[in-house]
Amino acid sequence: MIAPHLPILQVVIPLLAAPICVLLHSGRLAWLLTVAVSWVSFAVSVLLLGQVMDGGPLSYELGGWAPPWGIEYRIDALNALVLFIVSGISAIVLPFARASVEREIESERVYLFYTAYLLCLTGLLGITATGDAFNVFVFLEISSLSSYALISLGRDRRALMAAYQYLILGTIGATFILIGIGLAYMVTGTLNMADLAERLPAVSGNRTVQVSLAFLTVGICLKLALFPLHLWLPNAYAYAPSVVSAFLAATATKVSAYLLLRFLFTIFGVEFSFEAMQLGVILSTLAVLAMFVGSLVAIFQEDVKRMLAYSSIAQIGYIVLGISLVSVDGLTAGIVHLFNHAIIKGGMFLALGCIFFRIGSVQLHDMRGLGRRMPYTMAAFVVGGLGLIGVPLTAGFISKWYLVVAALEAGVWPLAVLVLASSLLAVIYVWRVVEVAYFQPVPDDKAAAKDKATLGEAPLSMLLPAWVLIGASIYFGLDTSFSVGVARAAASSLLGLDLAEIGS
């Protein structure tokens, strides 16, 4: 009945809801619709993931047109997991959004905010679900344009500048991707990913194909914010509204990481990308630099949102490092971290959103004494921070474990040392916040004394979503059968291996 149409429902439901949102013209109703859509999307992604894990990859022909003429949607373990992450984060973030958006965005623009949000969700889900290279570009533009709008809605005037910066760099990235896709089309005459994968090996000596890979890699890495192409990210995350920071930090870069995996492994193939073109060396070098530069810069931030943004740059380094090792363990590490980092960082940005809701700032200086004023929020932030460090019992530990084992297995023990050494930098930036929040006295300025209402915890509708994500980060640190299981299945299929052969 509906089951065979799930792949397209995943994308079409939020797409259709977006114009309805405009027509509703009411912030409250728009929010309700968006929540409903997100939850339905999440349910769809859960069903899809179940189908894929039981019965293998799904293929859906759009409008009944057979590929390669029509557009094909193709869901395997990898993109089912990414769909699950994107829609899951959205489903958790939205209940949080109502109070936060009311506070941060002018009321006459709230319905437009949710419209842009739905489009952004559509774009991210579309990029992930589609099996057509040009379709990727279309959804990439949908998600990018809507996210520029979302970021520019931030209260701070610098949000406009941040959005503009992202617009310029994001457009360059998207253009590179388009050029890359165009060049591949030129040589092979197809846009269907499966067809591309079949035809490309025969022409791998062709200079055009090599250039195509180069354009695609650079373009995707720009969207991924891999060092040194990360310049748009800190401002975008720092000045966007709280909800947008949490949503984008947890999903946008993850979808780009998915694209990188899809193009390098599925479409161009391991042999071409990593043996002929030697991308592994470049990616792992940049990843290590990202780990250290991101964490080091994070240490010196006064704006905690910016600090988390730089931390994200470092964490993207871990994901890419796992990918660059081109082994089942390495890919598992990368994909597991993609999942774990989405949960941890999403939870931490939500906790920051709670803080911003109460004290109107996320400057370190203004967070003095918050450990006493907002104990549950700060506890969530600290537990999330422990996850970033990779303390056992948190999801971050699992990612680090696989990453280091993969590095040892690849015989590059210096990478193992570097991964662990860089996690120590996270201790420093997390503990800066801890010391300020727990050991410094609450500032007794007039503003705080005047407005007694601002003292105390954020409303439950905000605190609960933050704790759901933080709680999940602990759960997935203890029970890894889901996260590691799916990641392993995805990793082995990317490498063209049978999961049963490699064992667990």
Partner 1 sequence: MSSSAVILFCLATPLIGALLIALSNRRPNQREAITLATAAILFVGVASLIPEVRAGARPELLLGEILPGLSLYFRVEPLGMLFAGVASFLWIVNSVYSIGYMRANLEGHQTRFYVCFAVALASTVGVAFAGNMLTLFIFYEVLTLSTYPLVTHSGKPEAIRAGRTYLGILLSTSIGLLLLAILWTWWAAGTLAFSEGGILAGRVSDGAMAVLLALYMFGIGKAALMPMHRWLPAAMVAPTPVSALLHAVAVVKAGVFTVTKVIVYIFGIDSLSRVADAGWLIYVAGATIVIASLIALRQDNLKRRLAYSTVSQLSYVILAAAILTPLSVAGAALHIAAHAFGKITLFFAAGSIYTAAHKTEVSQLAGIGRRMPWTMTAFTIGTISMIGLPPTAGFVSKWYMLRGAIEADQLFAIAIILISTLLNAAYFLPIVYTAFLNKPAPVDKDDHEHGHEHGEAPLPILLALGVTAAGTVLLFFFADLPLDLALQLAGRSQ
d(CA 184, CA 219): 14
Please, what is the minimum distance in Å from the beta carbon of residue 300 to partner 1?
17
Nearer to partner 1, 65 or 439 (CB): 439
Contact status: 473 vs partner 1 (CB under 8 A) = no
String of DSSP letters for 429-485: HHHHHHHHHHHSPPP--HHHHH-GGGSSPPPHHHHHHHHHHHHHHHHHHH--HHHHH
Contact status: 302 vs partner 1 (CB under 8 A) = no
Indicate the residue type of 132.
D
Nearer to partner 1, 269 or 396 (CB): 396
Per CB under 8 A, the segment of 33-41, 109-117, 255-263, 395-403 that binds partner 1 is 395-403
Residues 46-65 that bind partner 1 (CB under 8 A): none
Residues 358-387 that bind partner 1 (CB under 8 A): 386
Nearer to partner 1, 292 or 401 (CB): 401
Please, what is the minimum distance in Å from the beta carbon of residue 196 to partner 1?
34
d(CA 217, CA 197): 16
Choosing from 224, 321, 404, 463, the residue that interacts with partner 1 (CB under 8 A) is: 404
Nearer to partner 1, 179 or 393 (CB): 393
d(CA 310, CA 339): 18
d(CA 223, CA 107): 31
Contact status: 298 vs partner 1 (CB under 8 A) = no
d(CA 121, CA 143): 7
User: How many CA atoms lie within 13 Å of 261's alpha carbon, on the beta-carbon side?
Assistant: 35
Contact status: 501 vs partner 1 (CB under 8 A) = no
The pair of structure tokens assigned to 338 is 């993609």
Per CB under 8 A, the segment of 1-9, 121-129, 422-430, 460-468 that binds partner 1 is 422-430
**Alpha-carbon Rg of the chain, whole angstroms?**
22
Please, what is the minimum distance in Å from the beta carbon of residue 437 to partner 1?
12
Residue 474's nearest CA partner among 418, 392, 373 is: 392
Contact status: 325 vs partner 1 (CB under 8 A) = no
Residue 182 φ/ψ, nearest 5 degrees: -60, -45
The pair of structure tokens assigned to 420 is 């662990």
Choosing from 61, 141, 303, 409, the residue that interacts with partner 1 (CB under 8 A) is: 409
The pair of structure tokens assigned to 172 is 């360059």
Residue 325 φ/ψ, nearest 5 degrees: -80, -15
Please, what is the minimum distance in Å from the beta carbon of residue 211 to partner 1?
39
The pair of structure tokens assigned to 194 is 């499966």
Contact status: 439 vs partner 1 (CB under 8 A) = yes
Contact status: 456 vs partner 1 (CB under 8 A) = no
Contact status: 308 vs partner 1 (CB under 8 A) = no
Q: What SS3 class is residue 240? A: coil
- Residue count at the site for partner 1 (CB under 8 A)? 30
Nearer to partner 1, 129 or 389 (CB): 389
d(CA 364, CA 366): 5
Choosing from 87, 256, 480, 493, the residue that interacts with partner 1 (CB under 8 A) is: 480
Contact status: 481 vs partner 1 (CB under 8 A) = yes
Residue 73 φ/ψ, nearest 5 degrees: -105, 130
Residue 287's nearest CA partner among 366, 225, 348 is: 225
Contact status: 390 vs partner 1 (CB under 8 A) = yes
Nearer to partner 1, 142 or 391 (CB): 391
Choosing from 39, 134, 401, 482, the residue that interacts with partner 1 (CB under 8 A) is: 401
Choosing from 392, 456, 460, 502, the residue that interacts with partner 1 (CB under 8 A) is: 392
Contact status: 479 vs partner 1 (CB under 8 A) = yes
Contact status: 442 vs partner 1 (CB under 8 A) = no
Choosing from 3, 424, 447, 502, the residue that interacts with partner 1 (CB under 8 A) is: 424
Q: What SS3 class is residue 61? A: strand
The H or E element that residue 60 is part of is strand 58-61
Count CB-CB contacts under 10 A for residue 480.
Answer: 18
d(CA 176, CA 192): 19
Contact status: 408 vs partner 1 (CB under 8 A) = yes
DSSP-assigned beta bridge partners for residue 61 = 72
Choosing from 39, 134, 431, 482, the residue that interacts with partner 1 (CB under 8 A) is: 431
Note the residues at the interface with partner 1 (CB under 8 A). 386, 389-393, 398, 400-401, 404-405, 408-409, 416-417, 420-421, 423-424, 427, 431, 435, 439, 477-481, 484, 504
